[in-house]
Each structure stands twice: as C-alpha cells, then as structure tokens.
Amino acid sequence: MNKIEFDLLKWSMRTGRSHDVTPFVFHNSNVAVIRKPSYPEGVYRPPSGGIEPGEDFESGIKREIYEETGLHTEI
C-alpha cells in the first residue's frame, strides 16, 4: 500500500469504518454481477465490500470478488 492509499484508508476509518471497494469484473464483453436475495427480480449489482485492517487494496479487491462470485481474478 502506498502513502496515498494509506492516507485515504486512514481518513475513511476516522469513524471506525473501513474503505469500501466496488470492482468491475470483465471477461470479453461480459461483466460479472451479483443478485442479493432481498433485491427485486432483475436487479443486480457489481460485487463490493470493505478492505480489512492491514489488508492492501489489491488483496481486498481479489478477496471480495472471490467471496461474492467464486471467481479468481487478476488485477
């Protein structure tokens, strides 16, 4: 994590909240999206979530993508 990333993360945690990520996963012309059980039929969104304390952005993004889609990705 570079200084800018660290400063942004530190700033976002001032209220005890970790930094959120919303990665867009592309394969050819397709985009990976998820559907939450509480969403109305036909409503989807990209995977997203928070970076854990001590986790760098790249690792956090890969983890969130895997947790929500089961996909292993490269950044």
Q: By the 8 A CB rule, do 44 and 35 touch?
A: yes
| Per-domain boundaries in the chain | 3-69
pLDDT confidence of residue 12? 66
What pTM did the predictor assign?
0.70
Spell out, as residue ranges, where the chain has pLDDT lower than 50: none
How does the average pLDDT of the chain come out, rounded?
Answer: 84
pLDDT confidence of residue 57? 86
Q: By the 8 A CB rule, do 14 and 42 touch?
A: no
pLDDT confidence of residue 4? 76
Strand partners, 25: 32
